[in-house]
């Protein structure tokens, strides 16, 4: 009984690993092909690289953001992802002001002592955090974006498919041999 349970757990964990690797490969390859970040149903997945928003989400998490459109508007308390000095930042809006007829957002990381020293214009906003995050997967996503990580994402699924094919062939061979003996 324990052996069957161990085998079942092993198969589940192996399947989960294969699914995660394939999903990471899909995300990275589609972003490389499109030249940008892949969008699924109006949402993008971003890796969290700092602890500024803890405890809402931890460093190394991935978060889903809803991409802004021409009708998007944000209010105090919303968590937005924006571009600032060539970096993507995800912080909470603590104040909204009007400047030259448009909204300007003052932001702060939940874990930071003070407000950000900049103001965010609507042109810099990428989208809004929608409450979905998965801890630790961001580390893998970030690594998979590197050259070595991309190469491994191509190599590992291929190797897993090869191993699976060899196991299937060996299993079929053993069944044939068992049928000849019995």
**Residues annotated as catalytic (active site), given as ranges:** 50
Contacts 24+ apart (CB under 8 A), 19-27: 20/137, 20/140, 21/153, 21/156, 21/157, 21/160, 22/157, 24/140, 24/141, 24/144, 24/153, 25/144, 25/153, 25/154, 25/157, 27/141, 27/144
What distance in Å separates the CA atoms of residue 28 and residue 112, rounded to the nearest whole number?
31
Single out the residue of 118, 119, 93 nearest to residue 108, CA to CA: 93
What distance in Å separates the CA atoms of residue 59 and residue 53, rounded to the nearest whole number?
8
Distances from the Cα of 23 to the Cαs of 49, 102, 108, 139, in angstroms? 20, 39, 32, 14
């Amino acid at each position: 009984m324990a052996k069957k349970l161990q085998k079942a757990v092993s198969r589940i964990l192996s399947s989960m690993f294969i699914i995660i690797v394939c999903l990471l490969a899909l995300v990275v390859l589609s972003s490389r092909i499109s030249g940008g970040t892949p969008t699924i149903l109006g949402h993008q997945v971003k890796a969290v690289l700092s602890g500024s928003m803890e405890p809402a989400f931890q460093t190394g998490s991935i978060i889903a953001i809803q991409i802004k459109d021409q009708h998007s508007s944000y209010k105090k308390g919303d968590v937005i992802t924006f571009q600032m000095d060539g970096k993507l930042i995800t912080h909470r809006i603590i104040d909204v002001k009007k400047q030259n007829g448009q909204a300007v957002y003052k932001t702060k990381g939940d874990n930071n002592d003070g407000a950000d020293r900049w103001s965010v214009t609507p042109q810099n906003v990428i989208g809004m955090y929608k409450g979905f995050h998965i801890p630790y997967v961001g580390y893998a996503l970030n690594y998979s974006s590197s050259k070595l990580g991309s190469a491994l994402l191509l190599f590992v699924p291929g190797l897993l498919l090869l191993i699976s094919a060899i196991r299937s062939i060996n299993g079929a061979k053993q069944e044939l041999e068992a049928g000849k003996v019995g």
